[in-house]
Amino acid sequence: MTEASEAIRADQALKARHRAMWALGDYPLVATDVIPDLGPELIRATGVQPGWRVLDVAAGSGNAAVPAALAGADVVAVDLTPELLEAGRRLASERGVRLDWREGDAEALPFADAAFDAVVSCVGVMFAPHHQQAADELVRVCRPGGSIGLVNWTPEGFVGQMFAAMRPYAPPPPPGAQPPPLWGDEEHVRSLLGDRVSAFDAQRRGLRVDRFARAEEFREFFKSCYGPTLAVYRAIADDPDKVAALDAALTDLAARHLADGTMEWEYLLVKAERNTG
């Protein structure tokens, strides 16, 4: 087997693990019950207009895609995980909008160059393991003068801290894979998009989360619904001491951020235009 074919097989295996991870639990419930405001905020900030052709990358169950369709755009939602796409179809039907749901990899989007007026991703593309490949694809499929809009969890915010708390218990990442919360660092995103974009604007904002009355409620919800958390717990299921330690770490994290039944989860909102030159 050649080195190139080995790399292809390794990447296919990695993407299969990612697909399986996001099929665990109930991410659509996370999107609708915990972070429903993120998608509409992204669509407003990106300035999506009726008639625009919009691509939502790593769309999940459509947290940004459905609001874009409700705004009158012609929307394509692409994601690696068929189960999330099926949930998105149901949600779109309930909301009375139609859009195109496609299975696809954020690092190898199945679309032509410059095919979309706006390319967005709401806490989605940040989980693609190879950041530069994913960023290159975001730019490639956006037309010159088109808009790129991203919402990503910051490393310093609550979700970034949650991933840091889980890291000691998770299997080591494969070679070349980068931590998702890096997409919440302004300079990292600037370097990924580079001089191919202009009017780059990045703002740190806070999402008010009032879904959890107690820290333990947060922990149990994410243990049962959030794929990355579920995957870590599965990896340590045979070690009760590690399970107890991770339980304590997540409970402590939530308790430090929870006040009167609310939390604030920091995210980075990025807006940019693809250069016309």
Mean pLDDT score, 212-226:
97
**pLDDT digit string (tens) for 168-194?**
999 998 888 999 999 999 999 999 999
Mean pLDDT score, 16-45:
96
Signed CA dihedral, 50, 42, 123, 128: sign only: positive
Residue 186, class by beta-carbon neighbours within 10 Å (0-12 exposed, 13-18 middle, 19+ buried)? middle
> How much is the pLDDT for 88?
98
> How much is the pLDDT for 2?
75
Cβ within 8 Å of residue 105, ≥6 positions away: 15, 80, 128
On the question of pLDDT at 162 being above 70, the answer is yes
> How much is the pLDDT for 3?
64
Signed CA dihedral, 194, 35, 174, 219: sign only: positive
Per DSSP, the three-state class of 226 is coil
Domains of the chain by range and CATH?
3-210+263-274 (3.40.50.150)
Q: Residue 68 — pLDDT band, cuts 50, 70, 90?
A: very high
Q: Which neighbouring-strand residues pair with 108?
A: 105
> How much is the pLDDT for 217?
98
On the question of pLDDT at 134 being above 70, the answer is yes
> How much is the pLDDT for 9?
83
